[in-house]
A and B are shown apart, each in its own frame.
Chain A
């Protein structure tokens, strides 16, 4: 395997990209919208709108990659940019008639797709029709008019003077009606230039060009002929094939209504040659799988240090002027500024800056070809172990792994394959996700982990997202307060989408209601699936039953109460000292943890932290949030232990920096080391927690709230006895007679009645107290029966700071029928 081959895969002539930059319109001064909130900056609105362009995929269109916001409403658009602009070839290269026909066909194909998506190019010109090595073309910069809301969000007209249809000038360049017919005119001019092999009116200045175009309105005969004559190309014109002339003539009709549409032109017999090819493509039922696409390449490029902003700066497109030059000339007393306008010439820069890829090629030069084709299924261990793992990053901190281009290369290549095979690869996806989740594919991976199925789009389509409901006001006031530091979520599109998803959810889940916080809970899904609202909705819809079953009932008091009580018990189980302190100062989870659990921390952490937290959460069950809560307390433990009520509660009103990676690690640690039934709840979803008679069921909330230590299920106890007896200490508190008659294997007897609970001294336990003192991290299972007090004894242990204390659910008698038996009789040996 030679080194060269790898880079060849990456160094594809079409896998190149470039950027353009412009300024969005600046809002004047301190203006407010109708809701009293400041107006959304136009650059943010643009970012929101532009996301949709990322979904467009056609061989005749440059792929849209990114839009970035700079200072002062600067906007940078990154997109595929490859090949040679036709404008560079006109007059230097002779186009055969067949070649022109093909170009015309491909332009119209590209436009036809755009028009079907209600996108008007509006600045089509031979500058942004790019001829590829393989003789196909790609249209570039077709998204500008769309993303700027038909030019409304930018202070310059979106058009290319020479190619612009006359009606655009007649209507005034600021009229914002997106008429696809203007693109047909532009295509006509582009083709005329190719057919005549002449740059039109190239010696004229701007005003003269506009006058020329307007003069065409007076022409009564053929416009194309008139153009040809004006450029001394009448000879060439006469020699053109009749059908080509006709097509150009059709495009250059001065009446937009009489100009044909793309599809009308495409069905012209002139294009018959290509029809067959087209039909064949349409017949393919699926799209072929790409090992990677330009989107991944762009991502890796950024990881290797590629920086669009810096590149534009280097090449002189972004210049900073000294601050003194941007001072206003006049400031009125009520605060409005005058004389601060930007130089209009800098508002839109027509230049395109290509991004250099050498760094990426170098960095990836040594990656071997098989790395592009990872082995996924293999029955033979010899084969699967033959190659060492392509790149070992185990043990590196997550943030490093996410920024490591090579590691992300391998992860993305692998996950793309796995996702392509979903749902059949679900198990492998889970297995890999346990290591880590590559940020670029997080949205899709989460959807897979949440079992989103292929019908999600239909499901969403069917739901009413528009009818007025009583919840609307609440949703409307919450959305502008929900993760608004994020560009996508604060954009106008983001607000609309979030509102639709929430309304659809409320509509679909008639048993539930909108609780404040549901907005935050939805935000991560929308952020990750900004272009696939239905998927965001599907993720939310599958997420809630799994992790927040019944939390959004209109009357959810019991569910929340139970959850919070289990939280207290979990604290007691793992950290009795902290539990005792918090209890002493009356610092209850009710006062601070409701937003934690109701929104699974999405209301208390910024997005990037939520993503990492949920990466793990999605692989666990509904008890995991309790462990996250515990780990947050653990991180703040020292502060909490030395603080009183006010300091503690203040600490949580303004949650201090929580190290999320540490938090994830420690919650995983307690999650895996805690017997499952410790966090058992009455209100958990049976679909995900199936129970039998040896599990915990039927605990009433009133009873639960008397118990400071959690219960443990007979199943978990049996598991300890049979498989890990060294991990548990069983304390039988029944009277010695009963104990001698029959007891759990390896259990010790500390009769309830023999202990004095008056002082909190472990010594009161009698001869066995040393066993308890030196128990280490063993789980202490208290076993009693209906005659024993199952509250005071565990409480006593807790108050003596004994950790991992729990009580056998159902008492000793539940163990009797278990076969093979876990009991013994007589004196323990």
Chain B
């Protein structure tokens, strides 16, 4: 198992270890990379570099007696990189679709992503909608209620977040972790070969499932 999982806090050694592939989608500059950076390293860079292609990071959190390891694919936001996106969301068990609460177009784009995921991704994928840059609420153009009701209609988790102040960043990942099925033979198998390729690897041949005792 990856050494990251060994650094469990509280000396917790018992319990299940689950591995999930999560992908971040959304228009450029809404703060996807910043959310991941905040979640994984607890940092925020004002001048966060743009993402080309995609970036991969991992982070582990504890949920009761389960250790959840997220394998996170942070994708490029520009529409042109769209053709690469399926490579990353195929086989993903979770997705965070991000928009910027100060920019209406990014919300529209988020809805398109949700639709695409509902059509193309694994049927059981857990989708969360994140209204980022909550710290700029005085410049808000997307109302909380509007996004909330859209999320309700589509069965999405929803939170407004701020990568800058860290508000709701851990919470949204935690909420996803809670919602993900943690039984032995779970949805992770569903992805096709190309998608699975991204989650295989260091887990070695034994880790064909996403969960192991």
Known pairs A36-B133, A516-B78; A643 contacts B202 (CB<8 A): yes
Report B167 CB to chain A, min CB distance, Å. Answer: 15
Chain A 572-594 residues near chain B, CB threshold 8 A: 585-587, 590-592, 594
Q: Beyond A477-B29, A646-B71, is A587–B201 a contact (Cβ under 8 Å)?
A: yes
The distance from the CB of B195 to the nearest CB of chain A, in whole angstroms, is 11
B201 touches A482 (CB 8 A): no
> Quick check: which of B7-15, B55-63, B122-130, B173-181 contacts chain A, the rest being far away?
B55-63
Taken together as a complex, chains A and B put the C-alpha atoms of A20 and B57 apart, in Å, by: 48
Decide: A653 near B46, CB < 8 A? Known: A586-B197, A646-B2: no
Q: In the bound complex, how far is the Cα of B200 from the Cα of A474, in angstroms? A: 34
Tell me what chain B mostly uses at the interface: helix, strand, loop, or mixed.
loop
Is B119 in contact with chain A by the CB < 8 A criterion? no
Q: A474-B78, A647-B2, A650-B58 are in contact. Are A36 and B139 (CB under 8 A)?
A: yes
Within the complex, the shortest CB–CB distance from B143 to chain A, in Å, comes to 18
The reply to whether A644 and B204 contact each other, CB–CB distance below 8 Å, is yes
B136 to chain A, nearest CB (A): 5
Q: Is B80 an interface residue (CB 8 A)?
A: yes
Q: CA of A646 to CA of B80 in the docked complex: distance in angstroms? A: 26
Does B28 belong to the interface (CB within 8 Å)? yes
CB distance A644 to B202 under 8 Å?
yes
User: Within the assembled complex, what's the spacing in Å between the Cα atoms of A32 and B29?
Assistant: 16
**Cβ B55 vs Cβ A653 within 8 A:** yes
Q: Residue B46 contacts which of A37, A474, A519, A598 (CB distance < 8 angstroms)?
A: A37
Q: Contacts A516-B52, A650-B57: A645 and B201 contacting too (C-beta < 8 A)?
A: yes
Contact (Cβ within 8 A) B201 A586: yes
Question: Is A481 within 8 A of B201, CB to CB?
Answer: no
Give every chain B residue within 8 A of A653 (Cβ-Cβ). Answer: 55-57
Assess the B56–A515 pair: CB atoms within 8 A. Answer: no
Shortest CB-to-CB span from B43 to chain A, Å, is: 12
Residues of B within 8 A of A516 (CB): 28, 50-52, 76-78, 80-81
Chain B contact patch, size range: 35 or more
Asked whether A465 is an interface residue with its Cβ less than 8 Å from the other chain, the reply is no
B49 within 8 A of A: yes
CB-CB nearest in chain B for A490: B47
The answer to whether A644 touches B201 (Cβ under 8 A) is yes
Give min CB distance, A402 to chain B, whole Å. Answer: 26
| B29 / chain A contacts, CB cutoff of 8 Å | 477-478, 481
How distant is A575 from chain B, measured CB to nearest CB, in Å? 20
Partner of B202, one of A481, A513, A646: A646
CB <8 Å contact, A646 and B58: yes
> With A36-B136, A474-B28, A513-B80 known to touch, is A644 a contact of B203 (CB < 8 Å)?
yes
- The answer to whether A477 touches B28 (Cβ under 8 A) is yes
A637-664 interface code vs B (CB 8 A; 1 in, 0 out): 0000001111111101100000000000
| Cα distance, A732 to B78, chains bound together (Å) | 49
* Known A-B contacts A36-B102, A481-B48, A650-B57; A590 and B202 likewise in contact (beta carbons under 8 Å): no
Report if A599 contacts B (CB, 8 A).
Answer: yes
Contact A484 B47, beta carbon cutoff 8 Å: yes
Within 8 A of B (CB), among A450-505: 473-474, 477-478, 480-482, 484-485, 490
User: Is the CB–CB distance between B201 and A478 below 8 Å?
Assistant: no
A653 CA to B105 CA in the complex, in Å?
Answer: 29
In the complex, whether A356 has a CB less than 8 A from a CB of chain B is no
Query: Min CB distance, A213 to chain B, in Å?
Result: 46
> Does A595 touch B at the CB level, under 8 Å?
yes
Contact B52 A481 (CB under 8 A): no
Name the CB-closest residue of A to B2. A646
List the B side residues contacting A238 at CB < 8 Å. none
CB of B47 within 8 A of CB of A590, answer no
Q: Which residue of B49, B56, B102 is within 8 Å of A650 (Cβ)?
A: B56
Contacts of B76 in A (CB 8 A): 516
A38 cross-chain contacts in B, Cβ below 8 A: 46
Q: From residue 385 to 399 of chain A, which have CB atoms closer than 8 A to chain B?
A: none
Q: Is A535 an interface residue when CB atoms closer than 8 A count as contact?
A: no
Chain B residues, Cβ within 8 Å of A590: 53, 87
Do A649 and B204 form a contact, CB below 8 Å, given A481-B47, A515-B80, A590-B87? no
CA distance A485 to B201 in the complex (A): 35
In whole angstroms, what is the CA distance A590 to B202 when docked?
18
Separation in Å of the A377 CB from the closest CB of chain B?
A: 46
Determine the chain B residues whose CB is within 8 A of the CB of A490 once the complex forms.
47
A517-B52 contact, Cβ under 8 Å, with A480-B47, A646-B58: yes
- Closest chain-A Cβ to B67's Cβ sits at a distance in Å of 15
B56 touches A649 (CB 8 A): yes
Shortest Cβ distance from A175 into chain B, in angstroms?
A: 31
Min CB–CB distance A471 → chain B (angstroms)? 10
With an 8 A cutoff between CB atoms, is A56 at the interface?
Answer: no
Of B102, B201, B204, most buried by chain A (CB within 10 Å of CB) is: B201
Once bound together, how far apart are the Cα atoms of A484 and B49, in whole Å? 9
Interface mask (A415-428 → B, CB under 8 Å = 1, otherwise 0): 00000000000000
Task: Report the Cα distance A519→B57, complex, angstroms.
Answer: 24
Query: Does chain B have a CB within 8 A of A181?
Result: no
Instruction: Give the distance in Å from the alpha carbon of A652 to the alpha carbon of B54 in the complex.
Output: 11
B105 closest partner in A (C-beta): A473
- Chain B, 1-36, CB within 8 A of any chain A CB: 2, 28-29
> Bound state CA distance, A617 and B1, in angstroms?
41
**B202 with A585: CB separation less than 8 A:** yes
Contacts from A to B (Cβ < 8 Å):
32, 34, 36-38, 473-474, 477-478, 480-482, 484-485, 490, 513, 515-517, 519, 554, 557, 585-587, 590-592, 594-595, 598-599, 603, 643-650, 652-653
Identify 10 new A-B residue pairs, CB closer than 8 A, beyond the known A481-B49, A587-B201, A591-B53.
Answer: A482-B50, A516-B52, A516-B76, A516-B77, A585-B201, A591-B198, A643-B202, A645-B200, A647-B202, A653-B57
Q: Interface of B with A (CB < 8 Å)? A: 2, 28-29, 46-58, 71, 76-78, 80-81, 83-84, 87, 102, 105, 133, 136, 139, 197-198, 200-204
Jot down 25 A-B pairs with beta carbons below 8 A, ordered by A.
A32-B136, A36-B136, A38-B46, A477-B28, A477-B50, A481-B29, A481-B47, A481-B48, A516-B77, A517-B52, A586-B201, A594-B52, A594-B53, A594-B84, A599-B52, A603-B49, A644-B201, A644-B202, A646-B203, A647-B202, A648-B201, A649-B56, A650-B56, A650-B58, A653-B57
The 10 closest A-B pairs by CB, nearest first: A645-B201, A644-B202, A477-B29, A594-B53, A595-B52, A484-B47, A646-B202, A649-B56, A586-B197, A516-B78
